[in-house]
Amino acid sequence: MPPLSSVWTTAGDAWNDCRHRWRSLLLTGVAVRVVSLLLLTPLYAVTLRIAIAGSGRTVLTDQDLLYFVTSPIGLGGLFLVSVAIVAAVALELAAFLVVLSQPSNATSLVAALRTTLARCPRVLRVSARLVIQVIIWIAPAGAVAAATYALLLSQFDINYYLTARPAAFWAAGAIAVCLGVYVAVVGLKLSADWFLALPIALFEGIESPRVPTVSRERMSGSRWEVRGWIIGWLAASLLVSMGVSLLVGATAWLLAPFWPRSLTAVAAGVGLGLAALVAVGVATNLLSTVAFAALLRRLYLRLGGSVDAEVDREALDHQRGVWLTATRLATGVGLALLAAVTIGFVAISSVPIEDDVLVIGHRGSPLSAPGNTLASVRAAIEDGADWVEIDVQETADGEVVVFHDSDFMKAAGVDLKIWDATANRLAAIDLGAGFAPEFAGERVPTFAEVLAECRGKAGVVVELKYYGHDVRLEQRVIEIVEREGMADQTMFMSLYRPGVEKFKSLRPDWRVGQLLSVAVGSKSRLEGDFLAINGSFAKRGLIRSAHRDGREVYAWTVDDPLAMSALISRGVDGVVTNLPAVARSVLAERSGMPPIMRLLVDLADRFKLASPYTPAPLAESP
């Protein structure tokens, strides 16, 4: 390790390099990031279009995306996107290195960008080689992870392993820890071996195949010093980011209760808050990247590197480069304020005044009684649920029963697959004793029993579960609903898109929807009347798009009161929750809230800030 004086000298020199060139560094960072955004966004969109075209569909849902990523075309697209992202980061660092290498009295944004673009092919080739090296080193870990899942975690439903945590779960966890250590070691190795690759390729013109070798040779004897710098930079960046974020959050929390209540003032405040969050995030990331570039350059020079004279010459030829003038700064601030106010008005105008939202009990009320049992269904109705969501599957003897997992290991510790179960075997399985003594004797209900329990009290949202063993699931569900006369009190959905399409083709007039977390492409082409989407992805744009297509949006599974209120403000038509009583109380609280307070609650949830409004104490689940 170097002496402490050497460490301080390197840090001091890096600081002085930045201090004398901060204007050019700032403008370079903004320019490069805008260009990267303009280039990477179309690349990402093209990759998705290729994925959609290759699948033969107009939209990809969760499972489609997983299959695509693991396909040859998907892996190729993933490689291209990875190279593009690494190249964008490398080009930004390269631009900073060029600016830092210019004479302090003649820095030029134009010259820096021209030099960087002229040497861009070198940077791209090195970036591609780095991605290939990462893949080569990480691929074995991916193979071990896949084998671990197949051998240790695939015998039973994954929910069993997450809940019961048998020996296989801990064995898989131990392997995961070992893989994490391996990845960390690989990261330290590659970061040291490739640390000087970028400045070598940028300033010395060495052919890309030799760049990693030259970098390793110069790093000989200094690897641990460089690793120390990398770890120190990561720690400092994390601390600065956390500190600034906490400061912004604390400021917002302190100011919100005293902010003027007029619509104009609140709109401006919301816009300013959004602008502040974005500005702080960009500024801290930019500061971190510049600091890394300055340290990289100083260590590169200390370890035998040199900057060619062309960098100085181009900078001197562009002494009249772009500078951050007072006029331009004032113009930028004015435009930012205008944008902030506009954002605030747009946001506040989109908050619905009246709530027309369905409360949907997820598997009934599963924190009050064992989920998907008659007791849970009754509890959800008592808690005020408008609809009760259940999961249905087929048994070995052709009965449609209400159960979520593929087996009973998590629910009752019984090694029995649902498609191997018969009525007699199900009658012997107690789903309630493990939940609480008062629920001992709760059994797996049939679909018909749940319909009878809900008739005239609450609607039933039926999720069709597909584990690859269904026989006539859609037809049998339809037969039971028609026999019970509850077609107008039921809705149907599934993660399995072909199942949704088949069900809708069998009963076009019934309400059938697509259950999903993520979808790319034209969601208007999805079959069905509604979308049931993960609450984390239920953004305002998606909700508006669905409504334009005549579809409702149900967000699942949402238990936090703040998140419930935020989603309702964004316009969801239903909230799927484990806590129907809480959702009902949130709606009651919101009925007396002005739109301004609703908006602030939405923003508090969106940016994870403390809110000036918190719902009054709500009904707690047993």
Residue 303 has pLDDT above 70, yes or no: yes
Say if residue 414 is in the same domain as residue 515: yes
Whether 33 and 154 map to the same domain: the answer is: yes
For the full predicted model, state whether its pTM sits above 0.85. Answer: no
The last residue of one of the domains, among 295, 319, 343, is: 319
User: Per-residue pLDDT tens for 65-89?
Assistant: 556 666 677 677 777 777 777 778 8
- Looking at the domain assignment, is residue 344 inside a domain? no
Domain count, the chain: 2
What is the model's pLDDT at position 41?
64
Q: In the predicted model, what is the mean pLDDT of residues 286-309?
A: 84
pLDDT in tens, 338-376: 554 555 455 444 544 567 899 999 999 999 999 999 999
The pLDDT, as a whole number, for residue 250 is 78
Identity of the residue numbered 376: S
592: phi then psi, degrees, rounded to nearest 5:
-105, 10
The Cα 474–Cα 478 span in angstroms is 6
> Are residues 368 and 315 part of one domain?
no
Q: What tokens were used for 357?
A: 């939202």
- The whole-number pLDDT of residue 356 equals 84
CA distances from 613 to 256, 303, 503, 602, 606 (A): 9, 56, 44, 10, 14
What digits encode the pLDDT tens for the residues 487-502?
999 999 999 989 999 9
Task: Report which listed range, 35-49, 240-254, 445-459, 569-583, is most confident.
Answer: 445-459
Percent of the chain with pLDDT over 70: 74
pLDDT digit string, tens, across residues 238-266: 898 888 878 877 777 777 677 665 434 55
Has residue 615 been placed in a domain? no
Instruction: Please tell me whether residues 363 and 299 are part of one structural domain.
Output: no
| Tens-place pLDDT, residues 16-56 | 888 887 877 888 887 777 777 666 666 666 665 665 566 55
CA distance 608 to 22: 32
Query: Does an H or E element contain 556, and which?
Result: strand 552-556
Question: Looking at 269, 301, 319, which one is the last position of a domain?
Answer: 319
Res. 179 pLDDT band, cuts 50 70 90: very high
pLDDT band at 162 (very low <50, low <70, confident <90, very high): confident
What integer is the mean pLDDT of 106-122?
Answer: 73
Residues 6+ away with beta carbon under 8 Å from 419: 393, 394, 395, 396, 467, 469
Q: Is residue 577 part of a domain?
A: yes
Quick one: CA dihedral 141, 142, 147, 149, positive or negative?
positive
Note down the domain range covering 42: 4-319
Q: Is residue 622 part of a domain?
A: no
Residue type for 313, please? R
Which pLDDT does position 457 carry in this prediction?
Answer: 96
How many angstroms separate the Cα of 211 from the Cα of each of 93, 123, 208, 339? 17, 11, 5, 45
pLDDT by residue (tens digit) across 201-211? 888 878 878 88
Tokens linked to 420: 């191997």
Place of tokens 């629910």: 411
Strands 459-464 and 490-494, sheet pairing: parallel
Answer yes or no: is 340 within a domain.
no
Which of 301, 319, 337 is the last residue before a domain boundary?
Answer: 319
Buried-exposed string 190-227: b where 16+ CB fall within 10 A, e elsewhere: bebbbbbbbbbbbbeebebeebbebbbebbeebbebbb
Residue 431: CATH number of its domain: 3.20.20.190
In the structure, what pLDDT confidence band is assigned to residue 519 with cuts at 50, 70 and 90? low
| Domain-embedded: residue 353 | no
Task: Evaluate the CA torsion angle 402, 408, 412, 415 in order and state its sign.
Answer: positive
Q: Is residue 595 part of a domain?
A: yes
- Which residue, among 263, 242, 270, 268, has the nearest Cα to 603 in the 3D structure? 270
Residues 169, 89 within the same domain: yes
Mean pLDDT: which of 1-10, 41-50, 462-471, 536-545 is highest?
462-471
- On whether residue 326 sits in a domain, the answer given is no
> Is the same domain home to 250 and 386?
no
332 has a pLDDT exceeding 60: no
